[in-house]
Structure 1
Amino acid sequence: MTAAPPSARIARSAYFALLVLVLTNLFNMLDRTIVSILAQSIKVDLNLSDGDLGFLLGTAFAVFYSVVGIAMGRISDFVSRKKMLAFGLALWSVMTALGGAATGFLSLSAARIGVGVGEAVANPCSHSLLADVFPPRNRALALGTYLTGTFLGSAIAMIVGGLFVQSWPSFCSAIPIAGACSLAGWKAALVAVGLPGLVLALMVLTLHEPARPNVARTGIVRIIVREIASALPPFTLIVIHQLAGWPGTVRNFLLMIAIACVSGVLTWLSGDAAQWIACGLGAYSIATWGQVQSYGDKPLYRLTYGDPTFLLSIVSTALVACIIAGISVWAAPLAMRTFAISPVKIGIGLGSVFVLGSLLGVVLGGWLTDKWKASDARAPLHMSAITLLGLVPSIAVIATTKSVEVFFGAYFFLSIFASLWSGGIAALVQDLVLPRMRGAAAACYSLVAIVVASGIGPYWTGKVSEMTGSLATGIVSILLLAPLTLLVLWLAAKRLPHESAAHRLALAVEAGEPIPG
């Protein structure tokens, strides 16, 4: 099988791949987000603050996801994507289950870091595979359908997590494992959702993978080591020196010092060393990977880090995602603190309205974006602006209502708007690069968005909650990012009409890309 041309009939194997990748994405989000509904129990059991929870709910996962994921996006352009994805799925499943053995902040942080490392392979491999087997006319809808796994996984996490928190003591006696009932409900939940991913990893290995001319047959270990070293300090200094000599090494060292100083100041102001050390590591790794590509793959750099249109598009994506993350991971703890209802009812309520709203939003958004894009290339960015404008009143109602029915209703509308934009933006990122760069582009898009969204959004909300004594205030405060987000979307939309496929190819050729044919 080869990558599908624009007018090709879609093969049945493409639909099977889409199904398996949706399930993979489901487990990706299930294992990632279940800690949200478990957060209140974790806080009490491990004696944590809301700032600590913000780190565990976002930063611990996101930053190390970025450090490894930067390399994984590039590696996925050279190795078997299905093998790489199966390995990552098995790793994050095991690390999720090991979270059930955590006894404190540090051990649970280590487990969540492991989940981030494993999940770093998911989006680059999946986006690249789907972009190869579905033609451009169907790509936004295919990627939007893939993202339904995100919403299903998050919904199932709410429901399953609520059930375990409330009912584990009553049904653990039926499990024929000695000591099962001695586990706290949140620990049992992590074990239960982690282990089934090992079976799915075997299914991923059955996928048919399109042939690619740049896939390495030999030297795979060298490629993996090189790309990981390109993102992981202090090995980054060695890679930079090999590519650019002392001038490049000095520039990278100065970058490291500058980020360390900023992280130190933020640590001094907030008192949260783990948060800002992790964010500093993520920022350094992302910036260094871009510097490496500017020396080692100039065409890739020219179309991604070195291109204002690409940068504005992914920064706007990151800001929208940050606002969404600021409410989504804290919705369940807010409901538990506000309403006198059981965790299982909150889990079922939030999970049900989330999956209904999100499925409606992502399919409708993907379809509308494909139609709109036929006449206006800026459609994905416009859809992002619509998402943002719809989030503002929904978040305001969620943070202020005293009615659980109104809370669930507002969360339903938030779920619709929060999912309208995702498929179109993912397709836009793929459209801005050449086919051989799809894995790396997906990594750039996913990693910048996740570092900003998961690394800043949950922490911001938790820290403001800790400072003010009000989680609702913390949630509303994230809307301070809305004006900046609209400005970046507008700047990106101004540039996009000029970014034809021929223009993007010309930029790559100018940077050294061989002329096709």
Structure 2
Amino acid sequence: MKNYKENKWYVLTLLTLVYTFSFIDRQILVILAEPIKKELALSDTQLGLLTGLAFAALYVVLGVPIARLADKGNRKNIIAISLTLWSFMTAISGAASSFHQLLLARIGVGIGEAGGSPPSHSIISDYFPPKKRATAFAIYSMGIYLGVLLGFVVGGYIAKSYGWRIAFYSLGLPGVFLAILLYYTVKEPRKGQSDLIKTNSKAPTIKEVFKTLFSYKSFIYAALGTGFTAFGQYGINNFFPSYLQRIHGMNLAQAGYILGLVFGVGGGLGVFLGGYISDRIGLKDLRWYLRGPMLASIVSLISFAVVIFSNEISWIIGMLFFTTLFSGFYLAPVIGVTHSLVNAKMRAIASSVLFFILNFIGLGFGPLTIGYISDLLIPKYGDSSLRWAFSIVFVTGSLATILFGWAAKHYKKDLKRFEASIQTN
């Protein structure tokens, strides 16, 4: 039996836990938004900045050069160092006494998390062959929703019982111990060890990776589709706790418990099914790796219409579960598609480029735009301003649906072109 350090399921489990902590640390501010807003006298625009663009700015900028280091060197060590940094910056967020101090702490979290996913994606592709990668990425991506669940439920409970500052301390520091475990119990795999087509040993430049990726229309359309999908996801997720507290009178712990389960279970199930189903139906027609996200996007928009225009709390929670489930379908298949279009020593950079687009559009502008629109509408609609601000999701979600359809149209041709280029080099 293989040493546990080289066991693909152990490695995948540990990397999924790392991703879980990244979303605990990323999303904890969301459930703590209302008490922080009151104590620090913040606007919805400032909340949108803190939960979105402040984190995303350096996260997306540093992701590419850090991924370049990962494609050239030891990915496991990069992940361990990054996890230590973002966990520490989350913890010291609890000491912030002003908007600007909290802003700097969130920027620090973004810097740390820039070194998390791209190296992890690259390691996963080395442990799992192409036909099983979407499922592996789906399991890994469940860390998003497990992190949201724990951040909302545990963070909400701690904040209600002991205050929002203690919540930051309690959920930030454990990540340091996970970083130590990762460093000592995971072995760095050989790049490309699970590929069917072997590549040369030379690591490509960032320019070469960009040139390769953006020569494929399927990647361009799919990446933009992820960005506009994430715009709605982050915008909704980051403001829905406030929505329930302001409009439906829930306290912080209630909103955290309900949304933790809805986002955690619904989103986790959706992202797993998206990857698992894609690997199954993709065997018959590769275009279903992108047609699936297209159809799921349509369903999620229909269910979200019920969410924001209903006043019945049971309908709101039930349909929000389905919205979250279907809006999570896209991520694992798109990562799998991206990795199928580049060689093994391009994959960390390829993931960082995909996540640059996803987070620049989605995390950078989703919460900020919804917060800004909400502030503009407060004089007319009061606390209901968030309901109308959420309506912009129908525009971005419709764009994502169209883009996934265009990506599916070009994918088979692009994949054949990539395989031909490998065989001639």
TM-score (norm 2): 0.91
The amino acid of 1:420's aligned partner reads F
Cα distance in structure 2, aligned partners of 1:75 and 1:357? 35
Tell whether 2:35 aligns with 1:41.
Answer: yes
Per-residue CA deviation, residues 382-428 of structure 1 (Å, 9 max, x unaligned), is: 12212311221232222222232222212211221122222111111
Per-residue CA deviation, residues 455-476 of structure 1 (Å, 9 max, x unaligned), is: 0111111111111120111112
Cα offset, 1:16, TM superposition: 0.6
Cα distance in structure 2, aligned partners of 1:213 and 1:339? 52
Cα distance in structure 2, aligned partners of 1:75 and 1:388? 35
Tell whether 2:177 aligns with 1:194.
Answer: no
Match of 2:197 in 1: none
Query: Residues 327 and 395 of structure 1 are in contact (CA less than 8 Å); yes or no, is this contact kept in structure 2?
Result: no
Cα pair distance change 1:41/1:435, threshold 3 Å: same
Query: Residues 286 and 412 of structure 2 are in contact (CA less than 8 Å); yes or no, is this contact kept in structure 1?
Result: yes
Per-residue CA deviation, residues 93-126 of structure 1 (Å, 9 max, x unaligned), is: 0000111111111110100000000001111111
Task: Give the number of equivalent residue pairs.
Answer: 408
Cα distance in structure 2, aligned partners of 1:375 and 1:22? 29
The amino acid of 2:92's aligned partner reads L
Tell whether 2:418 aligns with 1:504.
Answer: yes
Cα offset, 1:505, TM superposition: 4.2
Cα distance in structure 1, aligned partners of 2:82 and 2:279? 31
Cα pair distance change 1:363/1:489, threshold 3 Å: closer
Query: Residues 302 and 507 of structure 1 are in contact (CA less than 8 Å); yes or no, is this contact kept in structure 2?
Result: no
Match of 1:148 in 2: 142
Matches within 5 A, 1:212-291: 212=191
Cα pair distance change 1:504/1:157, threshold 3 Å: same
Cα distance in structure 1, aligned partners of 2:170 and 2:164? 10
SS in 1 for 2:250: coil
Match of 2:396 in 1: 481
Match of 2:187 in 1: 208
Q: In structure 2, which of residues 281, 288, 293 is the aligned counterpart of residue 379 of structure 1?
A: 288
Cα offset, 1:430, TM superposition: 0.6
Cα distance in structure 2, aligned partners of 1:310 and 1:114? 30
Cα offset, 1:358, TM superposition: 2.0
Match of 1:446 in 2: 355
The amino acid of 2:387's aligned partner reads A
Query: Residues 151 and 354 of structure 1 are in contact (CA less than 8 Å); yes or no, is this contact kept in structure 2?
Result: yes
Cα distance in structure 2, aligned partners of 1:65 and 1:305? 21
The amino acid of 2:417's aligned partner reads H
Cα distance in structure 2, aligned partners of 1:33 and 1:297? 30
Match of 1:434 in 2: 343
Query: Residues 65 and 116 of structure 1 are in contact (CA less than 8 Å); yes or no, is this contact kept in structure 2?
Result: yes
Cα offset, 1:166, TM superposition: 1.7
Cα offset, 1:144, TM superposition: 0.3
Tell whether 2:61 aligns with 1:82.
Answer: no
TM-score (norm 1): 0.75
Query: Residues 150 and 260 of structure 2 are in contact (CA less than 8 Å); yes or no, is this contact kept in structure 1?
Result: yes
Q: In structure 2, which of residues 118, 127, 131 is the aligned counterpart of residue 124 of structure 1?
A: 118
Cα offset, 1:341, TM superposition: 2.6
Query: Residues 395 and 475 of structure 1 are in contact (CA less than 8 Å); yes or no, is this contact kept in structure 2?
Result: no
The amino acid of 1:22's aligned partner reads T
Per-residue CA deviation, residues 471-514 of structure 1 (Å, 9 max, x unaligned), is: 111112222223322332232222112123x521444688xxxx
Q: In structure 2, which of residues 106, 113, 120 is the aligned counterpart of residue 112 of structure 1?
A: 106
The amino acid of 2:405's aligned partner reads W
Per-residue CA deviation, residues 13-69 of structure 1 (Å, 9 max, x unaligned), is: 111101101110110100000111111111111111111111001000011101111
Cα distance in structure 1, aligned partners of 2:169 and 2:69? 30
Query: Residues 140 and 423 of structure 1 are in contact (CA less than 8 Å); yes or no, is this contact kept in structure 2?
Result: yes
The amino acid of 1:62's aligned partner reads A
Cα distance in structure 2, aligned partners of 1:299 and 1:375? 32
Query: Residues 72 and 345 of structure 2 are in contact (CA less than 8 Å); yes or no, is this contact kept in structure 1?
Result: no
Unmatched 5+ residue regions in structure 1? Answer: 3-9, 169-184, 215-292
Query: Residues 52 and 368 of structure 2 are in contact (CA less than 8 Å); yes or no, is this contact kept in structure 1?
Result: yes
Match of 2:273 in 1: 364
The amino acid of 2:161's aligned partner reads S
The higher radius of gyration belongs to 1
* Greater alpha carbon shift after TM alignment, 58-67 vs 306-315: 306-315
Cα distance in structure 2, aligned partners of 1:392 and 1:116? 29
Tell whether 2:373 aligns with 1:459.
Answer: no
Cα distance in structure 2, aligned partners of 1:341 and 1:301? 47
Match of 1:344 in 2: 253
Query: Residues 50 and 106 of structure 2 are in contact (CA less than 8 Å); yes or no, is this contact kept in structure 1?
Result: yes
Query: Residues 23 and 147 of structure 2 are in contact (CA less than 8 Å); yes or no, is this contact kept in structure 1?
Result: yes
Unmatched 5+ residue regions in structure 2? Answer: 194-203, 379-384
Cα pair distance change 1:298/1:350, threshold 3 Å: closer
Cα distance in structure 2, aligned partners of 1:387 and 1:106? 39
SS in 2 for 1:318: helix
Cα distance in structure 2, aligned partners of 1:93 and 1:331? 25
SS in 1 for 2:72: coil
Query: Residues 295 and 401 of structure 2 are in contact (CA less than 8 Å); yes or no, is this contact kept in structure 1?
Result: no
Cα distance in structure 1, aligned partners of 2:226 and 2:422? 24
Query: Residues 216 and 414 of structure 2 are in contact (CA less than 8 Å); yes or no, is this contact kept in structure 1?
Result: no
Cα pair distance change 1:98/1:45, threshold 3 Å: same
Cα offset, 1:299, TM superposition: 4.1
Cα pair distance change 1:86/1:11, threshold 3 Å: closer
Cα distance in structure 2, aligned partners of 1:297 and 1:150? 27
The amino acid of 1:204's aligned partner reads L
Cα offset, 1:11, TM superposition: 9.6
SS in 2 for 1:208: coil
Tell whether 2:224 aligns with 1:315.
Answer: yes
RMSD of aligned Cα (Å): 2.3
Cα distance in structure 2, aligned partners of 1:419 and 1:487? 17
Cα distance in structure 2, aligned partners of 1:79 and 1:60? 29
Q: In structure 1, which of residues 19, 44, 66 is the aligned counterpart of residue 60 of structure 2?
A: 66
Tell whether 2:255 aligns with 1:329.
Answer: no
Match of 2:323 in 1: 414
